[in-house]
Structure 1
Amino acid sequence: MAMNYRPATAPRAHRVPAVLRAPLEGRTWREFLYLLLSLPLSVIGFAFAITMTTAGVGLLITFLGVPVLAGALAGARALGAVERARARGLLRLEVAEPEPVRPGKGRSGPMAWMTALFKSGTSWRHLLYALVHMPWAITAFCVSLTLWALGWLLFLYPLYAWLYPTYWGQPGMQLYGDSDGFALYVDSPFEIAVTSAVGLVVVLATPWVVRGMAYVDRMLVTGLLGPSRLATRVWELEEDRGVVVDTAAADLRRIERDLHDGAQARLVALAMDLGLAKEKLEEDPEAAARMVDEAHGEVKLALQELRDLARGIHPAILTDRGLGPALSALAARCTVPVTVEVDLPTRPAAAIEGIAYFTVSELLQNISKHSRARSGRVDVWCSGQRVMLQVSDDGQGGASTEAGSGLAGLAERLDSVDGLLVVASPVGGPTTVTAELPWRG
């Protein structure tokens, strides 16, 4: 999908300070509800986890302990799914689904599934969450509910202070009382005002305490219920490996097609022409000479096609002289004038050079075929441990990375080596495509 860069809009300014808005904001009430619901849900999760785990460990002297422990892990994963959904709805926390439980290749059945559960670090982290979340949930529940109730009761005390002498037979809210009959009440106008002021402070401070405790829950959910970095990286590498294999297979098919339809067909025709010339050599030497001359021209064309094909696989100039001269030679063959500027301290890894070269090659082909541009520009530079490429033109725009487009395939190829492709191409132009590749030199 084409990416159009727009200037960021400034956040809307509030006339009411954040400290005064916080008690009434939806975020505060959502997080407060999250902390209240955490107590019953954590009790359920803790009871399930401790019961199933202790039962499974105790039954390990028999085979029954294995499925019981597997059930504990599976149940913990199910409870983790509920917790992620609750965090998504109330905390607005987007946590990716962890990697699924996958038995080894060629293995199936209950035993393979249980073995995969035991080997999954994600399953054990879900079980750990069920065990450690309850103490924190109890703390957060008690603190948040106490502060919330105390703050509003004190702050609104002037509104219901009259109820004490009217219906409850005491002058005001009792702060202290002993067996000797001594009691301390909040009943004077000054004391009522001070009580309300203290309540206001508590009301204003409570949302920030709630947010702090909700932040701890965010860390617990993200750290224990989300995918681990290592597992995510392995998952990405497996997908990238599939992209690389598919790309390599497509390149091999393209080379085979080019050889079959181009140089091979031309060489077959050349062999037939030379055979006919050989037959006519004694009967009609002049005709044979003409056929040999035509065959000579076919040989030149076949050699040119083979050179182009070899250049498409890996150009010799790239190997011998590096990215700068190779891109300059590539730009010289473009149908529109292209300026090339390469500023690299040293040469990156050969594989990265090749990917950078073919990335620019495909982008310049797009400029020649689709952009209707009058000029283009290629910039290559180094940023930290990354190679940056930028190809721009003043054409009609509208380029995108939607599925099925050439840029989508290019983005997948870059992603397979931890690269990135960003397209900015509004309708009407100009178009700027920025690619980022690891250095690995």
Structure 2
Amino acid sequence: MTIDTKNRGGQREQRLKGMAKGAARTLGLALVSLPASVLCFVLSAVSISLIPIGIGIVTTPYMLTAVRTYANWRRALAAEWGGVRITPSYRPVPKDANPWGRTFGMLGDPATWRDLRWLLADMTAGFTTAVLPAALLLYPLEGILIAIALWRVLPDGYWYGFVPVSDQTSALGAGALALVLLFLAHFLTPRLLHGHFLLTRAVLGSNRSELTERVRVLSETRRDAVDTSAAELRRIERDLHDGAQARLVAMGMDLGTIEALIEKDPAKARELLAHARRSSAEALTELRELVRGIHPPVLAERGLGDAVRALALRLPVATEVTVELSGRAEAPVESAAYFAVSEVLTNTVKHSGADRIWIDLHHADGHLRVGITDNGKGGAVIGAGSGLTGVERRLGTFDGVLAVSSPVGGPTLVTMEMPCALS
């Protein structure tokens, strides 16, 4: 009985704290969002209106970038405070685009206009839904104070809600109304906070727009996959033509010469025969390297974990590999992950100046995750001719993502993630 009473008391206290926290969050959100939304909308509208005279060409990209940053902050709050996830779907703007291209590229993005519509909604209905939870908590406090003593100093004709306060009895009525409002606040505060973020999602994120963006991303990754496959076929053709094929042709010519000299000059024939044998061994080595570049035998036979371990053994840098996989992914996923890891490691060895690398490979929440960390000089970025751009495209073909954290001075952390199931 005592334990049950304590539990109920603890739960009541926890609910009250949650209500107070929710009210404080929404009050802070209302106080920040109203001026921020008004300022962002007004400055964006002014900047866009100045485009015809040329000033807006320069200022608009900066203003719209600020609006996107502010909208992304609110998306993060929606996920953290309300459990409402709002996926951003901005079209990429080339970093080397001129001001004209950046301005009209951003204005041609439907997500930009959703942001501006959201600013209007946020300063009106959004502000109201953010203020209400705080009002439902603070207004009852006023009624309780009136019931205790504040009614003595109130002016004549003062109303608390629908209760006119003139004496102790009416003040107690105001206090009773305050308790009812406080009781309602207990249930409505989390719902209003959640409703505020649902309103944000309704304007900032659209299922139709997300589907359109999804189709666009898939179209781009499909095009990248086709281009990558064509480039890979050209590389294989070039390697065969310049390597193994050339050696086999030379070996055939040597064998023809040997056939002609085998009776006239046996010593010279034996010398050419030894050369042909070396050429055949070199051609076989090149063919094996070519096959390994297409699909490593260790990957097919032993799986991704052992293939990455074998890859790490060939590096000139001390490398530690941690693998936690309970099964094998599909062959295309394993191949994409293997070559992505290989390319990242190649870039690390060439450019980072690191003397130690850590590789973590595991599967969790339906995703294959690979983390590659080095203690090099840092400064790695995606884009601008970086090899990481190819890795990002390779992963994008399988709906994967690439994230890079590489401050100047290091360390560098490259994280790759692809959705997949293990057999």
TM-score over 0.5 for the pair: yes
Residue type at the aligned position of 2:333: I
| 1:354 matched to 2:335 | yes
Give the 5 Å matches for 1:201-216.
none
1:27 maps to what in 2? 33
1:396 counterpart SS class: coil
Question: Which whole-Å CA distance do the structure 2 matches of 1:98 and 1:370 have between them?
Answer: 31
Asked if structure 2 preserves the Cα contact closer than 8 Å seen for 1:398 and 1:427, the reply is: yes
Give the deviation of 1:311 after TM superposition: 0.6
| Count of aligned positions | 287
Asked if structure 1 preserves the Cα contact closer than 8 Å seen for 2:376 and 2:409, the reply is: yes
Task: Decide which of 222, 232, 249 is 1:268's aligned counterpart.
Answer: 249
Asked if structure 2 preserves the Cα contact closer than 8 Å seen for 1:98 and 1:228, the reply is: no
Give the deviation of 1:419 after TM superposition: 0.9
Question: Which whole-Å CA distance do the structure 2 matches of 1:337 and 1:31 have between them?
Answer: 52
Residue type at the aligned position of 1:335: P
Residue type at the aligned position of 2:155: E
Q: Which runs of 5+ in 2 are unaligned?
A: 1-23, 41-63, 76-86, 92-109, 115-120, 133-152, 164-184, 186-191
Question: Which whole-Å CA distance do the structure 1 matches of 2:411 and 2:36 have between them?
Answer: 45
Pick 1 or 2: higher relative contact order, CA cutoff 8 A, min separation 6. 1
2:215 maps to what in 1? 234
Task: Decide which of 249, 261, 277 is 2:230's aligned counterpart.
Answer: 249
Task: Decide which of 422, 431, 434 is 2:415's aligned counterpart.
Answer: 434
**Deviations, residues 104-150 of structure 1 (Å, cap 9, x unaligned):** xxxxxxxxxxxxxxxxxx9xxx9xxxxxxxxx9xx97xx99xx9xxx
Give the 5 Å matches for 1:118-267.
190-191=154-155, 194=158, 218-222=200-204, 227-267=208-248
1:379 maps to what in 2? 360
Task: Decide which of 359, 364, 382 is 1:401's aligned counterpart.
Answer: 382
Question: Which whole-Å CA distance do the structure 1 matches of 2:323 and 2:27 have between them?
Answer: 55
2:312 maps to what in 1? 331
Give the 5 Å matches for 1:6-25.
25=31
Higher helix share: 2
Larger Rg belongs to: 1
Residue type at the aligned position of 2:237: E
Asked if structure 2 preserves the Cα contact closer than 8 Å seen for 1:243 and 1:412, the reply is: yes
Give the deviation of 1:364 after TM superposition: 2.1
2:414 counterpart SS class: strand
Question: Which whole-Å CA distance do the structure 2 matches of 1:358 and 1:350 have between them?
Answer: 12
Structure 1 residues 215 and 298 mapped into 2: Cα distance closer, same or farther (>3 Å)?
closer
Asked if structure 1 preserves the Cα contact closer than 8 Å seen for 2:373 and 2:412, the reply is: yes
Asked if structure 2 preserves the Cα contact closer than 8 Å seen for 1:396 and 1:429, the reply is: yes
1:156 maps to what in 2? none
Which stretch has the larger CA shift, 244-253 or 264-273?
264-273
Question: Which whole-Å CA distance do the structure 1 matches of 2:304 and 2:25 have between them?
Answer: 54
Q: Which runs of 5+ in 1 are unaligned?
A: 1-16, 35-84, 100-121, 127-135, 148-188, 199-204
Task: Decide which of 344, 349, 352 is 2:325's aligned counterpart.
Answer: 344
Question: Which whole-Å CA distance do the structure 2 matches of 1:215 and 1:283 have between them?
Answer: 93
2:404 maps to what in 1? 423
Question: Which whole-Å CA distance do the structure 2 matches of 1:384 and 1:330 have between them?
Answer: 26
Asked if structure 2 preserves the Cα contact closer than 8 Å seen for 1:281 and 1:288, the reply is: yes
Structure 1 residues 284 and 195 mapped into 2: Cα distance closer, same or farther (>3 Å)?
same
Residue type at the aligned position of 1:419: G
Give the deviation of 1:337 after TM superposition: 2.4
Task: Decide which of 311, 314, 339 is 2:295's aligned counterpart.
Answer: 314
2:226 counterpart SS class: helix
Residue type at the aligned position of 1:282: E
Asked if structure 1 preserves the Cα contact closer than 8 Å seen for 2:340 and 2:394, the reply is: no
TM-score (norm 1): 0.54
Structure 1 residues 268 and 379 mapped into 2: Cα distance closer, same or farther (>3 Å)?
same
Asked if structure 2 preserves the Cα contact closer than 8 Å seen for 1:277 and 1:292, the reply is: yes
Question: Which whole-Å CA distance do the structure 1 matches of 2:349 and 2:39 have between them?
Answer: 59
Structure 1 residues 237 and 434 mapped into 2: Cα distance closer, same or farther (>3 Å)?
same
Give the deviation of 1:412 after TM superposition: 1.4
1:298 maps to what in 2? 279
2:349 counterpart SS class: helix
Question: Which whole-Å CA distance do the structure 1 matches of 2:358 and 2:198 have between them?
Answer: 49
Asked if structure 2 preserves the Cα contact closer than 8 Å seen for 1:98 and 1:227, the reply is: no
**Deviations, residues 169-214 of structure 1 (Å, cap 9, x unaligned):** xxxxxxxxxxxxxxxxxxxx8436846999xxxxxx9xxxx99998
Asked if structure 2 preserves the Cα contact closer than 8 Å seen for 1:31 and 1:214, the reply is: no
Structure 1 residues 215 and 354 mapped into 2: Cα distance closer, same or farther (>3 Å)?
closer
